[in-house]
Amino acid sequence: MLTAEQIQECVSWACQQEVSAPKPGNVNSFSGNHEMEIEDFIKSAHAIAPVMAKKELSVGNLILQSIRATRDVVNCNTNLGIVLLFAPLCKAMHQCRTFEQLHHALEQVLEELTIDDADKCYQAIRLAEAGGMGEVEEHDIQSSPTITLKQAMELAEKRDTIARQYINNYDAIWCIGLPNLTKAINCGETVEWATTFAYLITLSMIPDTLISRKKGRAVSEKVSTSAHSLIKKIKENNNLSDSKVEVITWDNKLKKAKLNPGTTADLTAATLLVYAFQQKLS
């Protein structure tokens, strides 16, 4: 079983690795943009790590207190999606003696989410001032919830891949992100480039819902198609880093078009957290 200190280390490491990786379209080690810089994400990582490690907090409180800690150090939304994905994982991790127990423990945590968790989450979303959330007729984030957090996520799952993870027990992490991250690392890639590979695979298979909400489904599907094409080029080379020019070129193109696959970046951060837990318990 991991200690609070070890969970804190995993959270900080995952956040920093995610933003350091050269993921096209996101703030990364090559460039900032989207009115944010890499330093904002590093500060945010240090802010949420000790909060996420608190065993006594509910999922809702983990989310709300993490966003409060973030807003104390940066004046922008750097990590709402990450926080939403990390909170159930960290809560579940406190119950696990082995990594193999995490999948079931996570499922149990998601099933036990409450109306209070939803209320705290809604407060956090409002505090983060996240863009591109959209509005719905029932149970909108501007109102007080009367349903559990999982039920709220179920209503949002068709328009938000992060919400969908609350319903399918993080299927995108277990089936896409983690296997591809691990495969690339085992093939000798650095964590940064393995992270980029997992990110591109995820983006190619799951159209980014942040782009969908801001620019439309057709645009997000086009971005996914481009990610698939880039992966084909990468596989023609011996190493991922050999495709650095192609990766940077597409990164610049996405940023010029103001296309940010932010949801995919959040899924990648969660993949890194799960990988970190696995390494700590191995």
Please give the backbone phi and psi of residue 28, each rounded to the nearest 5 degrees, phi first: -150, -175
pLDDT band for position 134 (cuts 50, 70, 90): very low
Q: What is the mean pLDDT of residues 93-115?
A: 98
Closest CA to 122 of 205, 200, 35, 59: 59
CA separation for the pair 26, 32 (Å, rounded):
7
- Higher pLDDT: 111 or 232? It is 111
pLDDT band for position 153 (cuts 50, 70, 90): very high
The predicted structure's pLDDT at residue 186: 95
Q: State the number of CA atoms in the 13 A half-sphere of 203 facing the CB.
A: 33
Averaged confidence pLDDT in the chain: 93
Single-letter code of the amino acid located at 39: E
The predicted structure's pLDDT at residue 239: 75
The predicted structure's pLDDT at residue 138: 55
CA separation for the pair 251, 199 (Å, rounded):
13
pLDDT band for position 28 (cuts 50, 70, 90): confident
The predicted structure's pLDDT at residue 167: 98
The answer on pLDDT for 263 being more than 90 is yes
Residues 38-83 have pLDDT tens digits of: 899 999 999 999 999 999 999 999 999 999 999 999 999 999 999 9
Full DSSP string of 114-125? -HHHHHHHHHHH
| 212 CB-near residues (< 8 Å, 6+ apart) | 159, 219, 220
- In the chain, where the domains are located: 4-281
Q: 4-281: which CATH architecture?
A: Orthogonal Bundle (1.10)
CA separation for the pair 47, 65 (Å, rounded):
10
Q: Which residues of 120-158 are buried (b: 16+ CB within 10 A; e: fewer)?
A: bbbbbbeebebeebeeeeebebeeebebbbbbbbebbbe
Closest CA to 7 of 282, 209, 281: 281
Q: What is the mean pLDDT of residues 10-16?
A: 98
The answer on pLDDT for 163 being more than 70 is yes
CA separation for the pair 38, 127 (Å, rounded):
21
Burial of 100 (0-12, 13-18, 19+ CB in 10 A): exposed
The answer on pLDDT for 137 being more than 60 is no
pLDDT band for position 136 (cuts 50, 70, 90): very low
pLDDT band for position 34 (cuts 50, 70, 90): low
The answer on pLDDT for 187 being more than 70 is yes
Burial of 186 (0-12, 13-18, 19+ CB in 10 A): exposed
pLDDT band for position 157 (cuts 50, 70, 90): very high
Please give the backbone phi and psi of residue 188, each rounded to the nearest 5 degrees, phi first: 100, 5
Closest CA to 173 of 2, 18, 40: 18
Q: What share of the chain is helix, strand, coil (3-state, %, to 5)?
A: 70, 0, 30
Q: What is the mean pLDDT of residues 251-275?
A: 96
CB atoms within 10 A of CB 20: 17
Q: What is the mean pLDDT of residues 253-277?
A: 97
No. of helices (H) and no. of strands (E), the chain: 15, 0
